[in-house]
Amino acid sequence: MSAILMCERAQSRVAFGEELSKKTSVQHEIARSRCDIEQCRLLVMQAAEVMDRDGVKAAMPYISMVKIVAPKMAQDVADRAMQIYGGAGVCQDTLIPSVFTSARFCRIADGPDEVHMSQLAKITMRELNDA
Ligand SMILES: Cc1cc2nc3c(=O)[nH]c(=O)nc-3n(C[C@H](O)[C@H](O)[C@H](O)COP(=O)(O)OP(=O)(O)OC[C@H]3O[C@@H](n4cnc5c(N)ncnc54)[C@H](O)[C@@H]3O)c2cc1C
């Protein structure tokens, strides 16, 4: 949602004589967002694949990875979209602030990031020791 809005705004808004979409820094934000979304999508698919094939226990590291990566990705993409919208990005005219806030509280509500990272580190070291 944020990424689509970001692209629409970049193509419709003219600032300092050219569309925002022509500015290299804006192009980079769009490209970075696409990379982040696609990386996260593939990670979610990997978690689902391992869960279906080998069960929840085997998928635990992937589930932790998704819990670390997905809310941060959504927050970062929403943050970039806000920046590209300028003042309009921080008022209630678009869903972007709502996406940002939801993503931000997911990083606490489902257990803080730090807890998921500690969990993943422990699983990773256990796997290495057992290998
Ligand atoms: C909108 C919302 C919905 C929620 N829904 C649910 C729910 O459905 N079910 C449920 O059980 N709980 C729910 N919670 C509670 C949520 O799980 C806790 O808020 C969260 O675990 C953090 O606990 P705390 O608020 O007591 O903060 P604290 O435990 O005081 O943590 C504060 C900060 O300290 C750091 N920290 C905490 N523990 C560690 C650690 N082990 N290692 C390193 N750093 C750490 C982190 O930076 C953390 O953000 C919800 C919270 C919110 C805000």
Closest Cα to atom 45, ligand 1: which residue? 114
Ligand 1 site-directed mutation target among 67, 106, 114, most atoms within 8 Å of CB: 114
d(CA 113, CA 103): 12
Residue 91, amino acid = C
pLDDT tens-digit map of 75-98? 999 999 999 999 999 999 999 999
Residue 86, amino acid = G
Buried-state track 11-39, b at ≥16 Cβ within 10 A, e below 16? eeeeeeeeebbeeeebeebbeebeebbee
* Contact (CB, 8 A) for 83 and 6: no
Chain centre distance of CA 97: 14
**Confidence (pTM):** 0.91
pLDDT tens-digit map of 34-80? 999 999 999 999 999 999 999 999 999 999 999 999 999 999 999 99
What domain range includes position 62? 2-130
First to last CA, the chain: 41
Does residue 18 surpass a pLDDT of 90? yes
Q: For all residues of the chain together, what is the average pLDDT?
A: 95
Does residue 5 surpass a pLDDT of 90? no
CATH number at residue 94: 1.20.140.10
* Residues of the chain above pLDDT 90, percent: 89
Can you read off the two tokens belonging to residue 12?
């419709």
Closest Cα to atom 5, ligand 1: which residue? 109
How many domains does one find in the chain?
Answer: 1
